[in-house]
Structure 1
Amino acid sequence: MDSGNTAFLLIASALVLLMTPGLAFFYGGLVKAKSVISMMMMSFGAIGLIGVLWALYGYAISFAGAGGPGFSGVDGFLGINMGNVGLTAAYDQAVNGVDNGLPYPDLAFVAFQATFAIITVALISGAIADRAKFGAWMIFAGIWSTVVYFPVASWVFNFTLGENENAADFSAATFSDGGWLTYGLQNVFGVGALDFAGGTAVHINAGAAALALALVLGKRVGFAKGISVPHNPPFVLLGAGLLWFGWFGFNAGSELAADGFAAVAFVNTLIAPAAALLAWLVVEKIKDGKPTSVGAASGAVAGLVAITPACAFLTPGWALVLGAIAGVVCALAIDLKFKLGFDDSLDVVGIHLVGGLIGTLFLGIFATGAGFIYSGSGVQLLVQAIAAFSVLIFSFVGAYVIGFILEKTMGFRIKSEDEIAGIDTVVHGEEGYVFTDAKA
């Protein structure tokens, strides 16, 4: 067990957790002033709920049978056998010198993946800003994470060591089995889907669910282009900055070791969003005549989304190209909601679903050593498309069914009059900004 890699993974976990408060600021700044508490609470609610569910059974579902001795989710549904996920292994390593065969304690990986589950759920909330009941959102988040996210995480992130392997030299280890998208497809096509840090499991997954919920809840009162303007652009920039900062843990941390692949992922996580930011501003200048601060923040996030699956599989040159493409396409895609008639309040579909698709499919052409331009084969692109659209369809259907049932039973959307009056005071009894002291 390597103390440096352990520290690396624990720090990466903290960085990814910071992304969810960052998302709360990003989303909070984009909504109306009387919706900011509601918007931010959906992110913080996800931290509490998904953090608990992950400990109870989320890890058990997502990583059942993973990794061999000492690194194993629990086969089954309920409960984590703490001896299997690290407490016994940590005790044996500390007291008896027994190594779990990996360069970090098992519980470090449990914590790292928990932060992924949290941010994925929180991302969905942007599509239903200004009109969702908090209680219904929390129930949706719990059910969706259980029946959609945890299984999809297993499809993408789960792995099992090859027979008789102990992965003592993690960089030289091979993984023979695991999630069907990454390893199962390899048995059929000879190559598995490439998704280094969650373009499918996180962004396509959340984006598809966001589209489903936007359709279930319907349009905001008076929905039209320009219905509302971001009430606090500095919040948006602060949130984007925190997201970008945390994203280094998200992407580089997914190598699970402080090595060359992590360095490549780190550099690409810097430059791809930078290119996307500039590209988005150029599109804004051409379309609207002015580059905006919200556009800069949105462009950076679009680039971060696109580079997530690709961060360790591209040379920096291709990472810049990917970022520029994502910035342009996502800047144009956010207007599709007005043409197609769905109210995705904060452009989760235009940024996360579209950006995730771009990054995932881009690998089929430009992934180092595997993409079409290197191999001359379109198989990798086919596999990337299978992975992307399998997650998209599964997540969309799951979210739509869950959201529809909640809307028809307990009600998911607040009343129109409450939406107009202000969701913060109606749902939470608070205001984001108090300019006078009632007691004075």
Structure 2
Amino acid sequence: MMLDTGSTTFMILCTSLVMLMTPGLAFFYGGLAGKRNILGVMMQTFVSLGITTIMWVTIGYSLCFSGGEGGIIGNLDFAFLNGVGFDTMYAGAGNKYPNFIFIAYQMMFAIITPALITGAFVNRVTFKAYLFFLVVWQLFVYYPFVHMIWGGGILQEWGVLDFAGGVVVHATAGFAALASVFYVGKRRDRQSPPNSIPLVAIGTGLLWFGWYGFNAGSELDVNNITTLAFLNTDVAASFAAITWLIIEWSREGKPKFVGLLTGAVAGLATITPAAGFVPLWAAMLIGILAGALCYLAVQLKNKWGWDDALDVWGVHGMGGVFGTILLGVFASSSINGQSGLLEGDGAFFFKEVVAVLISATYAFIFTYLMLTIINFITPVKVNMKDEDDGLDASLHGERAYDDGAL
């Protein structure tokens, strides 16, 4: 097949956009963290760019996308990208672009997924334990769900759909975050306000921008579905942001900038599984529901005393769950060949609900057990002095700002 330069360029652009989301996430979390823990949480995010890349090109891509048809995990046929030449064409999308760019695109998803979890346990986890966490969690949570849903595994064969990662990325990361919070316990100082709301805004802007590559690129081709996914992404984020703003304004009497930004991210997470399967009107409804339901999830978290510092569970975890269920409701056969509950396909709705419940439950249980085991190798929770001093200085020997800056 002849290489299609347009499709190849598009996939390179989308891959670059998704890569940009990881630094965007670091800015988002770094701005929300207390001023003594800015670098700690940013370091946990950025280090995934290095470690996950090494894992992906050695074994990750192969475990996700080779062999294991109808199973839970792939094999090692493509380990170290063995047998994948620079001129090997991607088997899907009509063989329009080299397989290398598909490998790179999926790698960017693998990089950001575990990094999402870090906002939950900000200033409570040692860096060494986090490195173990980063490796083991991908091997036993992320890779199996990529294979099962996108790599020809059992859930894909069963008919489960997830356009860009509601189950694979957000539900697994969000419920792993909740398990992490339960394991490490509450912060000693829970009153630390965001150190830089402008930094949060920069992070949100980069995430929103990168999400176009995340969702539109997941069509893995350039066609009408690609443009729909792009527009659905923006519409859902916008409706969710304004919904969150209105709810918070009415409850607290003042319009909050952090609330507007958080609502946008909730909308982005919630539309992710459905972006290429639902009509535009449904994306509007999904955005409104995302703003309201994720806001409610965060309020419940606060009421129950769960110290998910940066609301990973409420925004990403529940966003992924709600989005996957709403995909089961609003999917339209006229869009991408799959009907949802509104068009009479209750079986598909049931499959989506079961898939997201399985992923959330497994990610929660495995993560808690994994942290328990890691703690036998190296302490997971930082000591009280390091937590009080802040992880930037105590673990990394660096400070985000010199003493005269804040």
TM range (shorter): over 0.9
Distance 1:291 1:124 in 2: 28
Would the aligned equivalents of 1:89 and 1:100 in 2 still touch at CA under 8 Å?
A: no
Deviations 1:257-287 (A, max 9, x none): 1111100000001110000000000111122
In the alignment, which residue of structure 2 is the partner of 1:75?
Answer: 75
Which blocks of at least 5 consecutive residues in structure 2 are unaligned? 334-338
Does the C-alpha gap of structure 1 residues 341 and 117 become closer, same or farther in structure 2, counting only changes over 3 Å?
A: same
Does the C-alpha gap of structure 1 residues 247 and 81 become closer, same or farther in structure 2, counting only changes over 3 Å?
A: closer
Deviations 1:170-219 (A, max 9, x none): xxxxxxxx122222x1xxxxxx1221001000000100111111111111
Distance 1:268 1:435 in 2: 45
Distance 1:180 1:80 in 2: 25
1:385 correspondence with 2:315:
no
1:238 correspondence with 2:202:
yes
1:130 to 117, 123, 136: 123
Distance 1:326 1:62 in 2: 30
2:164 to 197, 200, 214: 197
In the alignment, which residue of structure 1 is the partner of 2:307?
Answer: 343
1:373 to 327, 333, 342: 342
Q: How much has 1:132 moved relative to structure 2?
A: 1.3
In the alignment, which residue of structure 2 is the partner of 1:148?
Answer: 141
Distance 1:307 1:253 in 2: 14
Would the aligned equivalents of 2:34 and 2:195 in 1 still touch at CA under 8 Å?
A: yes
In the alignment, which residue of structure 2 is the partner of 1:180?
Answer: 154
Show the 5 A alignment for 1:295-314.
295-314=259-278
Aligned residues: 395
Q: How much has 1:414 moved relative to structure 2?
A: 0.7
Would the aligned equivalents of 1:302 and 1:351 in 2 still touch at CA under 8 Å?
A: yes
Q: How much has 1:377 moved relative to structure 2?
A: 3.3
1:10 to 9, 12, 20: 12
Deviations 1:112-132 (A, max 9, x none): 000000010100101100111
Q: Which range moves more in the overlay, 73-82 or 197-206?
A: 73-82
| Residue identity in the other structure for 1:117 | A
Distance 1:10 1:88 in 2: 15
In the alignment, which residue of structure 1 is the partner of 2:400?
Answer: 432
Deviations 1:360-400 (A, max 9, x none): 000111111311111x2321210101110111122112211
Would the aligned equivalents of 2:61 and 2:78 in 1 still touch at CA under 8 Å?
A: no
Show the 5 A alignment for 1:22-421.
22-65=24-67, 75-76=75-76, 79-83=79-83, 85-87=84-86, 89=88, 102-158=95-151, 178-183=152-157, 185=158, 192-223=159-190, 227-369=191-333, 370-374=339-343, 376-421=344-389
Distance 1:413 1:101 in 2: 49
| Residue identity in the other structure for 2:101 | A
Does the C-alpha gap of structure 1 residues 74 and 210 become closer, same or farther in structure 2, counting only changes over 3 Å?
A: closer
Would the aligned equivalents of 1:74 and 1:81 in 2 still touch at CA under 8 Å?
A: no
Q: How much has 1:4 moved relative to structure 2?
A: 1.0
Distance 2:94 2:231 in 1: 29
Q: How much has 1:77 moved relative to structure 2?
A: 7.3
In the alignment, which residue of structure 2 is the partner of 1:170?
Answer: none
Does the C-alpha gap of structure 1 residues 275 and 81 become closer, same or farther in structure 2, counting only changes over 3 Å?
A: closer
In the alignment, which residue of structure 1 is the partner of 2:336?
Answer: none
Would the aligned equivalents of 2:66 and 2:78 in 1 still touch at CA under 8 Å?
A: no
Distance 2:181 2:375 in 1: 12
| Residue identity in the other structure for 1:365 | V
Which blocks of at least 5 consecutive residues in structure 1 are unaligned? 68-72, 94-98, 159-177, 186-191
Runs of 4+ in 1 over 4 A off after TM superposition: none
Would the aligned equivalents of 1:74 and 1:80 in 2 still touch at CA under 8 Å?
A: no
Q: Percent identity?
A: 41
Does the C-alpha gap of structure 1 residues 276 and 115 become closer, same or farther in structure 2, counting only changes over 3 Å?
A: same
Would the aligned equivalents of 1:18 and 1:246 in 2 still touch at CA under 8 Å?
A: yes
| Residue identity in the other structure for 2:353 | A
Q: Which range moves more in the overlay, 284-293 or 50-59?
A: 284-293
Does the C-alpha gap of structure 1 residues 74 and 153 become closer, same or farther in structure 2, counting only changes over 3 Å?
A: closer
Deviations 1:206-265 (A, max 9, x none): 001111111111111144xxx221111001010000000000000000011111110000
Q: How much has 1:81 moved relative to structure 2?
A: 4.1
Would the aligned equivalents of 1:196 and 1:308 in 2 still touch at CA under 8 Å?
A: yes
Would the aligned equivalents of 2:87 and 2:98 in 1 still touch at CA under 8 Å?
A: no
In the alignment, which residue of structure 2 is the partner of 1:166?
Answer: none
Does the C-alpha gap of structure 1 residues 242 and 66 become closer, same or farther in structure 2, counting only changes over 3 Å?
A: farther
| Residue identity in the other structure for 2:183 | V
SS in 2 for 1:330: helix
